[in-house]
Structure 1
């Protein structure tokens, strides 16, 4: 069963149920400002088409008890792929991006045709248990609207039409986008950002990423994927990044930069997870180094909050443990760079696993499936809306 509402208004109702269901008809009508008769017509159509269903739950209220509408998440499945420099990771999710199967890591040669072939094999593997409706691919790089990777330095790729090539190979709708954009969309549709119109996200790992949802829409542009926030200045006395900027976010907050700082301070090559573990056990040198990075992270969060006024800031990525180990230092950096009269900045931490990146990729496929395109925005039709005076 596909997802083909007959018009935009019906699509609006279906999306509201997908993103926020189960919802009673009265609540749906209130949320979308629909006349009861219109909502009845639309819900009946969506039930007949199999897009939504009536749940077994009954909502008791002042009037007659109502049966909520919801989607059936297990009715559709999606392959989410996170493409990294020498490998890719994949999961299968349901219609609400819940992971139902982890397909793990696959190595690739770096050639586009090899990547496409591996994704095709993953689709075949997934199909043995879960028929795949669409594929989503998340890449660290600049990706245009049709899923062409215009620049991915870590892969050595320029102008690679990955979405089109994969769709041709697997026979499924395929979406490809920058991995941070996919991550933020997943937060907005099905994560901690669901139901929120304004929030920001920072990711820590090999680089530093930044994304923002403002007034319900993702802020993106031609430079999305370049990683510009990585060169935001934080410490004029800090170390140099690869491009020679002193004390920028990349030099202060990335896993490689912290590992280098530990090497210079101790003479040891200590991997990130061991750095975190030793700091938690009270290693003074490592605690001091993470404290400096934590304070810098607090400054960056303050800059994001000061400039975009989000309801909260999400921290994720493989280096998210920095926000746990150096929590007090983060708040110190925040306080130093934020007006004392301003409201407290709420910080939400999400897991930095490959599975989370793959969930973001799967949401690209879900969006393509339900919207027929990669754009998550939906324009509401005014037809059949309840008059303002009603």
Structure 2
């Protein structure tokens, strides 16, 4: 980022911890908040008083409480004003830019998409600036920042070091968009952004160990330990390309023979069907044909399901997460072949191993854009681009 992001007014570390816990987990009663942060009642009162006086936190009626007691008593739960700030999030693909406007709690309140007709960085930045104007038109909340997710290697949450989808190297995307909008901008790998969103506001909220596995145009992986995403240098350097799950599996244009990428990604599944039948089908059509028992689609989908089961089992065996979230455009596979996935997972785990909490979430590109908006939320509340 080229300038400091606007943040919550200067807070002490203790005040910031209280405010963030209420943001992510609220509304919370004072007793619950004190328990979560291991604070005495007196310490909590000292920390929350300036937050309430400044309007950062508010007292809200307790659900189910009689109307006559909903009058600002100290026992009332604390919450944030979710619509006090707005955030723009973008997911940029090779041919589209998907945009959302969210509240402080990452609830989507507007969507706007535009075709990407060029990969020229300056023109892409122009487009994102135009979309920001469109998304924020008519919304009263002050826009506090922009988050952008791209499929690629991102440095310092500002520069796209490499993106094979956009054919970019060393593009200072945050600076380009900030110059055009005047808003703080943070850029991140799209899978990392999705992991941050699910950790703060989604399936991984409150969990110590959590994994996100995405399948779609590629395979993405994110690991959360101690409630924080683990960054790694190989982000978006082809996760699954060299992870061999079946030595005699298919050879496709992307990935080694029998790799997770060759077996599981949407382009690879479409390639296998086209190579075997001479007919080009969409991914959705292949799933329908497989469900109907068409031999070749059924075989390819079954192999993909086994590959997914092997991946899930191996991740569970090594990372020991409390939950694995399966997301992305390719998770329709579970609608057709969930039993194969589940049977494979059990076959690759110790008989006495605890069942895996596997949650499936069909994600469209607006979910990825929402993930990018959460990056901007983090910059506001943490006061830094580093989550």
Using the TM superposition, give the Cα deviation of residue 57 of structure 1 relative to its aligned residue in structure 2, in angstroms. Answer: 2.1
Q: What secondary structure, in the 3-state scheme, does the structure 1 residue paired with 2:110 have?
A: strand
Q: Which residue does the alignment assign to 1:93?
A: 102
Query: If each structure's strand is expressed as a fraction of its own residues, which one has the higher value?
Result: 2
Is 1:291 matched up with 2:313? no
What do the CA deviations read for 1:330-383 (whole angstroms, capped 9, x no partner)?
Answer: 12221232222211112101122011111111111111111122322xxxxxxx
Q: What secondary structure, in the 3-state scheme, does the structure 2 residue paired with 1:305 have?
A: helix
Q: Which residue does the alignment assign to 1:71?
A: 80
CA RMSD of aligned residues (A): 1.8
Question: Structure 2: how far apart are the matches of 1:199 and 1:329?
Answer: 23
Question: Structure 2: how far apart are the matches of 1:148 and 1:358?
Answer: 18
Q: Which residue does the alignment assign to 2:52?
A: 47
Using the TM superposition, give the Cα deviation of residue 120 of structure 1 relative to its aligned residue in structure 2, in angstroms. Answer: 0.9
Question: Structure 2: how far apart are the matches of 1:367 and 1:88?
Answer: 22
Q: Which residue does the alignment assign to 1:214?
A: 225
From 322, 334, 351, the counterpart of 2:345: 334
Q: What secondary structure, in the 3-state scheme, does the structure 2 residue paired with 1:209 have?
A: strand
Using the TM superposition, give the Cα deviation of residue 279 of structure 1 relative to its aligned residue in structure 2, in angstroms. Answer: 2.5
Question: Structure 1: how far apart are the matches of 2:229 and 2:197?
Answer: 11
Q: What secondary structure, in the 3-state scheme, does the structure 2 residue paired with 1:6 have?
A: coil
Q: Within 5 A, what are the aligned runs for 1:141-156?
A: 141-156=152-167
Q: What secondary structure, in the 3-state scheme, does the structure 2 residue paired with 1:80 have?
A: strand
Q: Which residue does the alignment assign to 2:111?
A: 102
Question: Structure 1: how far apart are the matches of 2:63 and 2:340?
Answer: 48
Q: Which residue does the alignment assign to 2:259?
A: 248
Q: Which residue does the alignment assign to 1:263?
A: 274
Q: Which residue does the alignment assign to 1:32?
A: 37
Structure 1: gaps (5+ residues): 377-390
Is 1:237 matched up with 2:248? yes
Q: What secondary structure, in the 3-state scheme, does the structure 2 residue paired with 1:320 have?
A: coil
Question: Structure 2: how far apart are the matches of 1:65 and 1:32?
Answer: 18
Q: What secondary structure, in the 3-state scheme, does the structure 1 residue paired with 2:170 have?
A: coil
What do the CA deviations read for 1:25-84 (whole angstroms, capped 9, x no partner)?
Answer: 111111111221221122121112221111122687xxx981000011111111110011
CA contact (8 A) 1:201 1:212 kept: yes
Using the TM superposition, give the Cα deviation of residue 114 of structure 1 relative to its aligned residue in structure 2, in angstroms. Answer: 0.9
From 120, 136, 141, the counterpart of 2:129: 120
Question: Structure 1 length normalisation: TM-score?
Answer: 0.91
Question: Structure 2: how far apart are the matches of 1:287 and 1:58?
Answer: 49
Q: What secondary structure, in the 3-state scheme, does the structure 2 residue paired with 1:221 have?
A: coil
Question: Structure 1: how far apart are the matches of 2:339 and 2:296?
Answer: 17
Structure 2: gaps (5+ residues): 1-5, 66-72
Q: What secondary structure, in the 3-state scheme, does the structure 2 residue paired with 1:151 have?
A: strand
Q: Which residue does the alignment assign to 1:158?
A: 169
Is 1:371 matched up with 2:386? no
Q: What secondary structure, in the 3-state scheme, does the structure 1 residue paired with 2:44 have?
A: helix
Q: What secondary structure, in the 3-state scheme, does the structure 2 residue paired with 1:223 have?
A: coil
Question: Structure 2: how far apart are the matches of 1:358 and 1:127?
Answer: 15
CA contact (8 A) 1:201 1:315 kept: yes
Relative distance call for 1:158 and 1:355 in structure 2 (3 A) is: same
From 11, 25, 34, the counterpart of 1:20: 25
Is 1:195 matched up with 2:206? yes
Relative distance call for 1:68 and 1:253 in structure 2 (3 A) is: same
Relative distance call for 1:58 and 1:89 in structure 2 (3 A) is: closer
CA contact (8 A) 1:58 1:68 kept: no
From 271, 279, 289, the counterpart of 1:278: 289
Q: Which residue does the alignment assign to 1:385?
A: none
CA contact (8 A) 1:239 1:247 kept: yes
Aligned length: 373
CA contact (8 A) 1:315 1:323 kept: no
Question: Structure 2: how far apart are the matches of 1:328 and 1:264?
Answer: 27
Q: What secondary structure, in the 3-state scheme, does the structure 1 residue paired with 2:171 have?
A: coil
Q: What secondary structure, in the 3-state scheme, does the structure 2 residue paired with 1:129 have?
A: coil
Question: Structure 2: how far apart are the matches of 1:167 and 1:126?
Answer: 16
CA contact (8 A) 2:254 2:268 kept: no
